[in-house]
């Protein structure tokens, strides 16, 4: 005999402490078929976005899960996708692992790179192995029990700068373009999360700043980061260094914080010379041309005899 359980749940929210005005937020329904070893769960929000989840037992204790996501809205994007995952339980039942993949994925109604990668749930940790979606990949673990430890490497490849800035500063409304590549290392606990970023931003603009390249280095304990050894090459060839503190939680004053960063010349120093890069021009596919002010040192042993300055042009070939 087939045993089928159907569950339906309505969640309401009162918006006034004196009088209750119920508002339907979502509907939840599902069924479990024990004879066929499968289940179906549907969640529909008031804006008609929904998630349909299906699970089917395959071999032993293993399952195949499918998710149909339609226009799920977050503070950052609208997501639609069909996601499939395997669930493989170890013999002791102490861990579960699986692979994730997706198809027909849309972010803000536009096609994007599909989800792929592996995961394992063991103890109080979720381990991610080369789990990538859109332009971002994750490697590491997150604990889902207090103190919520994190050790994660987040890698970005051709991520639109607009999406990157909207994630960190959704209320700043910075006009921007360009693409971001590089990595962010996350370590510690959620209440004391250490961050270290090494990012490259290419061919774009932020407000009135037009640039060819930004090499960003920043680290600190969220939300207080220290920008250091960050170089900017403007579209007109002018290059400079940027450093200073940034509080990424203070989104209302984010533009003011950026303007307050310290700007200095791009200087390279060795035992024999100093170089100030005044302009860096990317004129050809073969390389770049740099206009530099050079201060040469005449050194005998440890004694500096004299210094001579000259203005030079350096051609760099890139392959």
pLDDT digits (tens, 9 = 90+) for 205-220: 988 889 999 999 999 9
180 part of a folded domain: yes
pLDDT score recorded for residue 220: 96
Higher pLDDT, 216 or 19: 216
What's the pLDDT at 228?
Answer: 93
How confident is the model at residue 29, as a pLDDT?
84
Q: Within 13 Å and on the Cβ side, how many CA atoms surround 147?
A: 10
- CA pair distance 16, 22, nearest whole angstrom: 9
Q: What is the pLDDT of residue 319?
A: 31
Measured CA to CA, the distance from residue 38 to residue 31 in angstroms comes to: 9
Q: Are residues 113 and 154 both part of a single domain?
A: no
pLDDT band of residue 107 (cuts 50, 70, 90) is: confident
User: Do 316 and 225 belong to one domain?
Assistant: no
**Among 92, 119, 146, which residue terminates a domain?**
119
Residue with tokens 């102490």: 94
Model pLDDT, residue 42: 87
Q: Over 50: is that where the pLDDT of 273 sits?
A: yes
Domains of the chain: total: 3
Q: Name 276's bridge partners.
A: 267, 293
Task: Answer whether residue 128 is part of any domain.
Answer: no
Identify whether residues 296 and 218 lie together within a single domain: no
Q: Are residues 148 and 47 part of one domain?
A: no
Residues 95 and 175 in one domain: no
Q: Is the pLDDT of residue 14 over 60?
A: no
* Domain that residue 168 falls in: 135-266
Is 126 part of any domain? Answer: no
Structure token pair of residue 40? 């179906």
Same domain, yes or no: 34 and 60: yes
pTM of the predicted model as reported, rounded to 2 decimal places = 0.72
Same-domain pairing of 141 and 262: yes
Rounded CA-CA distance 127/85 in Å is 15
Q: Are residues 139 and 262 in the same domain?
A: yes
Q: What is the pLDDT of residue 244?
A: 94
Q: Does residue 262 sit in the same domain as residue 297?
A: no
Q: Is the pLDDT of residue 27 over 50?
A: yes
Would 275 be classed as within a structural domain?
Answer: yes
> What's the average model confidence in pLDDT over 133-162?
93
Average pLDDT, the chain: 78
Residues 108, 146: one domain?
no
> What residue has token string 């961050």?
195
pLDDT (0 to 100) of residue 169? 77
In a domain, 124, yes or no: no
Q: Is residue 127 part of a domain?
A: no
In a domain? residue 125? no
pLDDT score at 167: 82
* Phi-psi map region of 7: left, alpha, beta (phi>0 left; psi -120 to 50 alpha): beta
Q: Are residues 262 and 139 in the same domain?
A: yes
Q: Is the pLDDT of residue 184 over 90?
A: yes
pLDDT digits (tens, 9 = 90+) for 49-82: 889 999 888 877 788 999 999 998 876 678 999 9
pLDDT at 282 over 50: yes
234 in a structural domain: yes
């Amino acid at each position: 005999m087939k045993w089928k359980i159907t569950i339906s749940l309505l969640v309401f929210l009162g918006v006034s402490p004196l009088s209750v005005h119920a508002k339907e937020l979502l509907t939840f329904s599902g069924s479990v078929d024990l004879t066929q070893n499968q289940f179906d769960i549907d969640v529909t929000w008031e804006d008609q976005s929904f998630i349909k989840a299906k699970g089917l037992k395959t071999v032993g204790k293993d399952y195949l899960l499918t998710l149909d996501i339609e226009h799920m809205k977050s503070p950052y994007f609208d997501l639609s996708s069909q996601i499939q995952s395997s669930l493989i339980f170890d013999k002791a039942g102490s861990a579960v692992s699986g692979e994730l993949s997706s198809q027909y994925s849309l972010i803000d109604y536009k096609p994007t790179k599909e989800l792929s990668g592996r995961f394992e749930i063991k103890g109080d940790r979720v381990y991610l192995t080369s789990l990538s979606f859109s332009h971002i990949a994750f490697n590491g673990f997150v604990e889902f029990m207090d103190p919520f430890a994190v050790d994660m490497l987040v890698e970005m490849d051709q991520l639109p700068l607009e999406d990157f800035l909207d994630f960190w500063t959704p209320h700043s409304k910075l006009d921007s373009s360009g693409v971001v590549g590089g990595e962010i290392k996350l370590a510690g606990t959620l209440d004391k999360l250490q961050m270290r970023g090494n990012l490259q931003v290419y061919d774009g603009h932020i407000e009135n700043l037009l640039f060819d390249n930004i090499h960003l280095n920043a680290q600190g304990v969220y939300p207080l980061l220290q920008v250091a050894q960050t170089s900017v090459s403007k579209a007109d060839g002018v290059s400079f260094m940027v450093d200073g503190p940034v509080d990424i939680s203070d989104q209302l004053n984010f533009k003011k914080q950026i303007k307050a960063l310290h700007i200095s010349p791009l200087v390279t120093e060795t035992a024999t010379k100093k170089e100030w890069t005044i302009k860096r021009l990317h004129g050809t596919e073969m390389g770049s041309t740099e206009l530099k002010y050079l201060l040469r040192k005449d050194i005998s042993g440890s004694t500096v005899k004299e210094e001579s300055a000259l203005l030079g042009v350096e051609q760099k070939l890139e392959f």
